[in-house]
Structure formats: structure tokens, C-alpha cells
């Protein structure tokens, strides 16, 4: 095989990064693959828009058929975003026996299984390392490097936008809105940040990770999702007082043969390796049955990191092509286990209460926990200045979720309790 | 391919882990590979020694030829340790067209290139993920996942024994000897800990990592090595006072077309992700040109983690066998760059001085640095109780190494300076 030809769908940030890497490191990549790598066509919306990287204008096209139906093109790299068009284009590319690389988590989380089956049927590769945690090679690690182990649990900080916002709130005491505005100003958050801050983006990544780690076809509907829009700087402040950091984490856990996938703001003990993963960085903590605990840390997005993942996938596809083994590395779920929407049995919990600052308040609350058989691990109380109100922050010991929720409902009904909220606490 | 047969060389800790994993997870592994996995023979020193895992005694042999010359055996897993015998056995296995998996870093660091060439010549696989950082999939990440990037620098905590010792010294204030004894009692250090504490083990791992990251044939002789036997609890105490943690790190760095590989006790700023990698854990920090910074963290040794790496390699070999592409994933150095033994141009430095506690001492030292044009970033001074001596601990700003060493020699000759030592400081 002397040469491979590539068609690129989309020329935004990541597309620019891929073109940059292919041109800057051409010699090294060609030496590594033993093949000339030719960028044949790039699908764009507007051919006349200025580009951040040098490209022959004749390679640009607004007609996707010039790529999908082009017999010269061996590999299609999809970097458009969205679901409907990429879905149709990738399906068409695979049916035309083209190998595909995509960074599209939305697509892979919603139609990944179908596309992977189509790829295998056509003896084509479909790689998507860049779809989860940009520059962190977590997908390949799950399918190859940790293949021998039984994964029991994964905890991931897999959304850079929310991690940036929570880091700003934690370190600078900013309120949510200001932290969001700062993220938007730096390009870490979209103008419409909904899918990030509501936890949907993280949930999509957890769907992809769960599929690879557990070989179970989890669907987005199976994931219990809670975003960070209700997290206040006071929540963060009182969590810190008790020795915890609040992070938006995705958790996928197998217990008693059921799988539970959740995305929710969670308190991590300050010593937990994930607690110090700051700003727009991502990290995935994996608990393996034989392996123990291992963590993958790095940039979760951005032109360079995501392009490295895409082009590393490209090197793998080219290698498979020259060995004549494309379509053989497709990993499909094998188990029919039905995931449960909420499998959480027991946990520590963080409770914040605004209470009337009057004699007996404190003991009426601790008595309630005691009567319900929930013991308290840490507790912090202080008056709210200028009001007849006190703040109480509590971290419980491990308790059954059912019992805790019942107790929390009783707490809210106490005459002295004015406001109450709770979050889950991860073990150290 | 219905079945693969395996011959195991060595039945110590990792061998036991491999047998345990193969028997416990047989069903899942066979489903994953689509092949029956049959353990045919295990080379042992003593057939009658009690074993920690159930095994048919007829599989044990003390005669290596029953494995190497056995036409039924497709894959040889070498877990003996040492260099000479494993070298001969692996060479023989490859020439008999058997695929090989090894966890032997000593062997791969000293004869890896030769064995890899032999493997390729015989169209056989030679995988060795477990040879560096036990359960952390760093080798595959370098060759596959980060293949598209130019690695600029790697910093690794790749020796669990020394990291355990330094963690004990840091957190419990133990002197070196007591921390070593504690490591030995827990099985984290050998009775003869020389190769760990002198930095040789870490150097071997850096040789293997450099080969994969830079495609350069680094040899053990090219590595500048300094162990931890001279590190005192006072060094650690004063480093902590200035905001640093002392770790034994391996560094492999490319600059100006030269490569510099070193192992030395180094001060890491407390915020550095490697600074919080404690006890027997390992971590490798990778700086990529496009990727930025990424870290791989996990257990560096132990039965379970190492066995997971070995069996994951096994899954890859079986996949390659069934596709008929063994021997095609061998990564050999291509560049002829000659590594320099010490390429360090500039750095921050940590200096500890015992000085006469008398008027003018302090300024004579700071004046010397000032006259030499080296500015000081942090400084700590305190009297040593009961003596006419003061301790001065300094972290310099970045300075040229040549200039610093000249200045350090001048420092030692000052009449007020009784003792002096220095260590390198890594940037944050």
C-alpha cells in the first residue's frame, strides 16, 4: 500500500488541528505508517471563509458526495458535530467500504452500536477515541490494555466546561453565573451551555465508556443525570470546610450484576486523586478487580489534544489497512444485562441546612439522625451573619439511600429547618 | 483458530497472578478472543513446592525444553526474572516461531532491540507491557494512542520501592533506614534493595520508555543515575518547608535534537500531579507537542496489576494470531540520534547548607549567589538546636547548570559553610 487518501468532514477547531498535524508531521507519520498520507477533500460550509491553517483551496468542497462517493478516498474523518447528518454520512461511507474515524460523542452515544455493526459487516474500521476525553487514550486502554481485567467501577471528570466552572467557584469563590461567564469568555463554554452544565455531555461519554468497560448496551435514557446549575458557592464553601471538593462526575458501577450509570455533582475527599483535577482537564478513575485503582489524566478537549487522538486513530486504521484486517477491531456489547436507572444502595451524604438560630435546634437535628440510625461523620455549624439563621453542614457515615431519603424528608418537615439540600459523597 | 496453547516460564508472584486470572476469568477471556486458552506447561524450579493457586501437577516441569521445543505451544510467557536464561529462552522460542510475552524490564532494557528484531524476522509477536509500571498501560499508550504526537518530555515515578520509602520519610518523618525496613517488611523492597534504591531499576524502565517515545536506541550507560540512599529526612523536611516534595523520578527529555535521560531525586512543587503519587504507586507524566500534558497513574507492581498487563498482552497476541498478523506490531527505533549523558542546560536548584551561626553568614551566602547572577526564589533559615550552627535551605530561580555548579563549588569553599548539598527542582 503506497498511499491512503483521506476525506475530512468538517473544518472547525478539531479539523484544523488534524490538518495542521498531518502537514507539520507528515514525514514522521509517513515513516511510521510506511504510507503516503494524502488529504483529498475537506467538506466545509463556506469555501471562502479564512482558515487558520494553509490548505489548497481546491480541496475544499461543499458537496459531501465528492467525499462519500469518491472511489479514491479510503478513510473518512468525521468532525462535523450534530447527529443526523453525520449519521447518514458515516453510514454511507461504511457502505461504500470506507474506513471511518469520528470524534462525535453525541452520535456514538446514540447510534454507536448500529454504526459499529455496519462497520463490521463491511469489513471497515470505525474508530472514535477522540469522542471521550479528548487527549486521554481511555477507550483504547479499556478495550486493549485493561482487557484482561473485570472493571468494577469508573469515575470520570469527563466534561471540561463544568470542571472549569466548579474550579473557578472553588478557588476564587465566584458565583456560578460569573464562573460560567468566565468559561464562555475563554471558549471553554458554548453560548448555550445547556448540554454541558445540565450533565448531558458527560452522560453521553459515560454511555460510551460503559459500553466498552462492561460490554453492556447502556442507553442515554438509562443514565440518571443531574447538572451543576443548582450548585452554589456556599455548597462549595461548606464542602471545603468539611474536607471535600465538589466535582461533576460520571459514575458507572457494576454491583450484584446490575449496572448503574449516573452523572451528578459529588463530594470527593480532598485526598482523592480526582479532587485535584482542575480547570478544563479531564480524568478517568478506573477500579479493576485484579488491577486495583488506576487513573488517566489529561486535557479533555481542544484543538491539539483531540487532533492527536484522531490522527492516532488514523495511524491504527492505516496499519489495519496495510495488514488487510480492517473491521476486525470492532468492539460490540455482548451482554444483555438491563441497566437500572438508579442502583445506588448506600453512600455517604452531604447535607446543608438553614435553620432557625435558637436553643435546641442543633440537638433536634442530630437527634433525628440518631433516631433513624444514621451516624454523622463530620459536622460544621456557624451563624449566618445579620440573620437569625444558622448554617449546618453535615457529612453522614455510609447509610442506605432509602433510609437517608426518608430521613431527609423528615428533616425538611422539622419546624426549625428553613432550607435543606443534599449531595452524594464519594468514598476516598 | 479453535485453541491456543501457552507455556509459562516462571511461577512466582506474577506467574501465580496470570494462572489465577486465566482460570478465574476463563469464560470471559475465551468469549473475548473467540478461542480456547489452554495452559500447557509451566517451568518451575521445584515441582513439589506448595502453590497459591490450583494447578494440575502434571503441567509443572523443570525442563525448559518441554516448553521451547514443544510443537503444541503457540505462546511463551516469560516471568522468570534475570537476564541470561530468559534471553536464551526467548530467542529460542522466537526461532521456533512462538509468540512471546515478557514482564522482564532488565532483559528488555539491555537486549530489547535484538529480541524485537528477531521477533519480527520470525513473524512473531513480542509484547512487554508489564515490564514498565505494572498495571499502567503506558507502553501501548506511547505506541498507539499518542502515536500522532511528538513527545517532548516524560517524567515518571516508575519505581514503587523508592516511592514507598520516600512517602514514609515524607509523611511520617522516618529516617531512610527505618523506611527501607518498613518497605522490606511489607514486601515492597527486596532483601538486597540495591537495584531499586540506587536508581538502576528506574533507569531500565526509562530506557524502555525512551525507546518507544522517541524511537531512539537509548542504552543503560547513557542514563545518568542517582539513587535515594543519600536523601535524609532533613532534606525532605526542608524541601517541604519551601513547598516541595522529593521524589525519585526518571526524566527523558528531547531538546535541540539531543536526548537526555536521567534518574535522580528531584523536588516537585506540591501542586504538581506527580507530587501526590504516594506509596508504592507509579505514574508517568507525558508532555506532548500537540497534546499538552497527560498523566497515567496506577499500581506499579504486584500480582494482580502485573498479571492484568500480561494477560491483556496475551489477548492482543491471540487476536493477531487469529488475523494472521503476528510480528507486525513490533516497534523498533529508527533514529540514530546519539543520546547525551547529561544534557541538562538549566534548572532550578535546591541547596541545603549547614553554616556557622554567626553575624554576616547569611549575607555572605546571598551575596555569592547575587555576584554570580543567580537569583533566589525561596529561602528558609533556622538555627540547629544546641549547636552553633544554622540550617539554610534555598530554592534558586532557573539558572544555567554550569553556572550553578561553579557557584556551588564556591559556596562549599566559604569559610562559614560547614556542609552543602544540592538537588534539582522540577518546574510546576
- State residue B241's pLDDT score: 94
Q: Residues B77, B102: contact at Cβ < 8 Å?
A: yes
- State residue B343's pLDDT score: 64
How much is the pTM? 0.91
- Greatest C-alpha distance within chain A: 84
Mapped onto helix, strand or coil, the DSSP state of residue B261 is: strand
Q: Taking CA B88 as the corner, what is the angle to CA B85 and CA B89, rounded to the nearest 5 degrees?
A: 85
Distance CA B426, CA B416 (A): 29
Cβ separation A148–B302 shorter than 8 A? no
- Above 90 in pLDDT, residue A385? no
Q: pLDDT digits over A104-155, tens only?
A: 999 999 999 999 999 999 999 999 999 998 889 999 899 888 888 999 999 9
B265 is written with which cell numbers? 531525586
ipTM over 0.90: no
Q: Residues A93, A60: contact at Cβ < 8 Å?
A: no
Chain A residues with CB-CB distance to B308 below 8 A: 146, 148-149, 288, 290-291
Of A145, A305, A325, the CB nearest to B292: A305
Distance CA B136, CA B277 (A): 13
Distance CA B136, CA B298 (A): 6
Q: Does A418 touch chain B (CB under 8 A)?
A: no
Partner B, chain A 211-240, Cβ-Cβ below 8 Å: none
CB atoms within 10 A of CB B34: 11
- State residue B188's pLDDT score: 87
- Above 90 in pLDDT, residue A199? yes
Mapped onto helix, strand or coil, the DSSP state of residue B413 is: helix
- Give the torsion sign (CA, B209, B214, B220, B222): negative
Residues 6+ positions from B391 with CB-CB distance below 8 Å: B234, B238, B352, B353, B354, B355, B380, B381, B382, B383, B384
- State residue A29's pLDDT score: 92
Cβ separation A308–B291 shorter than 8 A? yes
Nearest-neighbour CA in chain A from B155: distance (Å): 14
- State residue B341's pLDDT score: 60
- State residue B337's pLDDT score: 62
- Above 70 in pLDDT, residue A230? yes
- Above 80 in pLDDT, residue B61? yes
Residue closest to A285 by CA, chosen among A78, A141, A382: A141
Burial A213-245 (b: 16+ CB within 10 A, else e): bbbbbbeeebbbbbbbbebebbbbbbbeebebb
Nearest-neighbour CA in chain B from A265: distance (Å): 23
Q: How are beta strands B36-43 and B60-61 bridged, if at all?
A: parallel
| CA A326 to chain CA mean position, Å | 28
Nearest-neighbour CA in chain A from B69: distance (Å): 28
Cα–Cα distances (Å) from B250 to A331, B208, B239, in that order, read 36, 12, 19
Mutation test of the interface with chain A: which of B75, B127, B290, choosing the one with the most A Cβ atoms within 10 A?
B290
Q: pLDDT digits over A318-342, tens only?
A: 999 999 999 998 888 776 666 666 6
- State residue A300's pLDDT score: 86
Chain A residues with CB-CB distance to B149 below 8 A: 308, 312
Give the residues across from B391 on adjacent strands. B354, B382
Q: Residues B73, B3: contact at Cβ < 8 Å?
A: no
Distance CA B241, CA B410 (A): 25
- What are the strands, taking DSSP E only, across B210-278? 224-225, 244-255, 258-269
Mapped onto helix, strand or coil, the DSSP state of residue A217 is: coil
Number of residue pairs across A and B with CB atoms under 8 Å?
165
Q: Does B171 touch chain A (CB under 8 A)?
A: no
**Interhelix angle for B200-214 vs B105-121, to 10°?**
30
- State residue B339's pLDDT score: 66
B88 is written with which cell numbers? 536464551
Q: Residues B227, B159: contact at Cβ < 8 Å?
A: no
B138 backbone dihedrals φ, ψ, rounded to 5°: -85, -35
Chain A residues with CB-CB distance to B31 below 8 A: 334
Residue of B nearest to A326 (CA): B323
Q: Residues B332, B117: contact at Cβ < 8 Å?
A: yes
DSSP state of B337: P
- Above 70 in pLDDT, residue A343? no
Residue of A nearest to B298 (CA): A294
- State residue A6's pLDDT score: 98
Alpha helices for B356-419 (secondary structure H): 361-371, 401-413
Distance CA B321, CA A2 (A): 25
Q: Does B31 touch chain A (CB under 8 A)?
A: yes
Of B149, B297, B304, the CB nearest to A273: B297
Chain B residues with CB-CB distance to A312 below 8 A: 144-149
Residues of B identified as active-site: 205
Q: Does A32 touch chain B (CB under 8 A)?
A: yes
Alpha helices for A200-288 (secondary structure H): 200-214, 233-241
The residue that leads in pLDDT, B74 or B428, is B74
Residues 6+ positions from A337 with CB-CB distance below 8 Å: A214, A216, A257, A258, A259
Tell me the average pLDDT across A296-303.
Answer: 90
- The catalytic residue among A98, A105, A168, A205 is A205
Q: Does A287 touch chain B (CB under 8 A)?
A: no
Chain A residues with CB-CB distance to B21 below 8 A: 148, 290
- Above 70 in pLDDT, residue B136? yes
Chain B residues with CB-CB distance to A291 below 8 A: 135, 298-299, 304-305, 308
Q: Residues B215, B193: contact at Cβ < 8 Å?
A: no
CB atoms within 10 A of CB A135: 30
Partner B, chain A 119-158, Cβ-Cβ below 8 Å: 129, 135-137, 140-141, 144-150
Residue closest to A274 by CA, chosen among A266, A264, A284: A284
Q: Residues A45, A62: contact at Cβ < 8 Å?
A: yes
Cβ separation A141–B144 shorter than 8 A? no
- Above 90 in pLDDT, residue B7? yes
Of A28, A135, A146, the CB nearest to B312: A146
- State residue A301's pLDDT score: 83
Of A28, A137, A147, the CB nearest to B141: A137
Residue closest to A137 by CA, chosen among A9, A322, A311, A325: A311
- State residue A338's pLDDT score: 63
pLDDT band at A172 (very low <50, low <70, confident <90, very high): very high
Tell me the average pLDDT across B69-87.
Answer: 97
Tell me the average pLDDT across B166-184.
Answer: 96
Q: Residues A281, A63: contact at Cβ < 8 Å?
A: no
Cβ separation B296–A297 shorter than 8 A? yes
Domains and CATH numbers, chain B: 3-134+303-323 (3.40.50.720), 138-299 (3.30.360.10), 346-425 (3.30.70.260)
DSSP state of B143: I
Number of H helices, E strands in chain B: 14, 17
B205 backbone dihedrals φ, ψ, rounded to 5°: -65, -35
A122 is written with which cell numbers? 463491511
- Cell 477533500, residue? A41
| CA A312 to chain CA mean position, Å | 20
Distance CA B260, CA A154 (A): 36
| A3 a catalytic residue | no
Of B129, B273, B297, the CB nearest to A145: B129
Q: pLDDT digits over B294-340, tens only?
A: 999 999 888 999 999 999 999 999 999 999 999 998 888 776 666 66
Cβ separation A297–B298 shorter than 8 A? no
Mutation test of the interface with chain B: which of A1, A77, A144, A254, choosing the one with the most B Cβ atoms within 10 A?
A144
Give the residues across from A391 on adjacent strands. A354, A382
- State residue B340's pLDDT score: 67
Residue of B nearest to A22 (CA): B148
Of B149, B299, B311, the CB nearest to A292: B299
Q: Residues A269, A276: contact at Cβ < 8 Å?
A: no
Give the residues across from B156 on adjacent strands. B250, B284
pLDDT above 70 covers a percentage of chain A that reads 98
Distance CA B145, CA B131 (A): 18
Q: Residues A94, A100: contact at Cβ < 8 Å?
A: yes
Tell me the average pLDDT across B262-277.
Answer: 93
- Give the torsion sign (CA, B397, B400, B405, B407): negative
Partner B, chain A 46-65, Cβ-Cβ below 8 Å: none
Nearest-neighbour CA in chain B from A225: distance (Å): 28
A264 is written with which cell numbers? 451528578
Distance CA B349, CA B408 (A): 10
- State residue A337's pLDDT score: 62
- State residue B359's pLDDT score: 86
Residue of A nearest to B272 (CA): A276
Distance CA A259, CA A213 (A): 11
- Above 90 in pLDDT, residue B135? no
- State residue B255's pLDDT score: 77
Mean pLDDT value across chain B:
93
CB atoms within 10 A of CB A76: 27
Burial A115-130 (b: 16+ CB within 10 A, else e): bbebbbebebbbbbbb
Mapped onto helix, strand or coil, the DSSP state of residue A47 is: coil
- Greatest C-alpha distance within chain B: 84
Tell me the average pLDDT across B243-249.
Answer: 97
Residues 6+ positions from B202 with CB-CB distance below 8 Å: B156, B158, B159, B162, B196, B225, B248, B250, B263
Residue of B nearest to A309 (CA): B145
Amino acid at each position: 500500500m503506497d498511499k491512503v487518501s483521506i476525506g475530512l468532514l468538517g473544518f472547525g477547531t478539531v479539523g484544523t488541528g488534524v490538518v495542521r498535524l498531518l502537514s507539520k508531521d507528515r514525514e514522521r507519520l509517513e515513516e511510521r505508517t510506511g504510507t503516503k498520507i494524502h488529504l483529498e477533500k475537506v467538506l466545509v460550509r463556506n469555501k471562502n471563509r479564512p482558515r487558520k491553517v494553509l490548505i489548497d483551496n481546491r480541496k475544499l468542497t461543499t458537496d459531501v458526495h465528492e467525499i462519500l462517493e469518491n472511489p479514491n478516498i479510503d478513510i473518512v474523518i468525521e468532525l462535523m458535530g450534530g447527529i443526523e447528518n453525520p449519521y447518514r454520512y458515516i453510514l454511507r461511507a461504511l457502505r461504500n467500504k470506507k474506513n471511518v474515524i469520528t470524534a462525535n460523542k453525541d452520535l456514538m452515544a446514540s447510534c454507536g452500536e448500529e454504526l459499529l455493526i455496519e462497520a463490521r459487516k463491511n469489513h471497515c474500521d470505525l474508530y472514535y477515541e477522540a469522542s471521550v476525553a479528548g487527549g486521554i487514550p481511555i477507550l483504547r486502554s479499556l478495550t486493549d490494555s485493561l482487557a484482561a481485567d473485570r472493571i468494577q467501577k469508573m469515575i470520570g471528570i469527563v466534561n471540561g466546561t463544568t470542571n472549569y466552572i466548579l474550579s473557578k467557584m472553588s478557588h476564587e469563590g465566584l458565583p456560578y453565573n460569573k464562573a460560567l461567564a468566565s468559561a464562555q469568555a475563554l471558549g471553554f463554554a458554548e453560548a448555550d451551555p445547556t448540554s454541558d452544565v445540565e450533565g448531558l455531555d458527560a452522560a453521553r461519554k459515560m454511555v460510551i465508556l460503559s459500553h466498552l468497560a462492561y460490554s453492556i448496551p447502556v442507553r442515554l435514557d438509562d443514565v440518571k443525570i443531574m447538572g451543576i446549575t443548582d450548585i452554589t458557592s456556599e455548597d462549595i464553601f461548606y464542602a471545603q470546610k468539611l474536607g471535600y471538593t465538589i466535582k461533576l462526575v460520571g459514575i458507572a458501577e457494576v454491583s450484584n450484576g446490575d449496572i448503574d450509570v449516573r452523572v451528578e455533582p459529588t463530594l470527593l475527599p480532598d485526598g482523592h486523586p480526582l479532587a485535584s483535577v482542575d480547570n478544563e482537564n479531564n480524568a478517568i478513575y478506573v477500579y479493576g478487580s485484579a488491577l486495583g485503582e488506576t487513573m488517566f489524566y489529561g486535557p479533555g478537549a481542544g484543538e491539539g489534544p483531540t487532533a492527536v487522538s484522531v490522527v492516532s486513530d488514523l495511524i491504527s486504521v492505516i496499519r489495519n489497512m496495510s495488514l488487510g484486517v480492517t473491521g476486525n477491531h470492532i468492539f460490540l456489547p455482548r451482554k444483555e444485562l438491563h441497566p437500572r436507572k438508579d442502583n445506588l444502595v448506600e453512600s455517604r451524604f452531604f447535607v446543608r441546612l438553614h435553620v432557625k438560630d435558637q436553643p435546641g435546634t442543633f440537638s433536634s437535628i442530630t437527634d433525628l439522625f440518631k433516631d433513624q440510625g444514621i451516624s454523622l461523620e463530620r459536622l460544621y455549624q456557624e451563624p449566618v451573619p445579620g440573620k437569625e439563621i444558622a448554617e449546618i453542614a453535615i457529612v453522614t457515615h455510609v447509610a442506605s439511600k432509602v433510609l437517608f431519603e426518608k430521613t431527609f424528608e423528615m428533616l425538611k418537615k422539622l419546624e426549625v429547618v428553613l432550607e435543606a439540600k443534599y449531595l452524594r459523597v464519594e468514598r476516598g
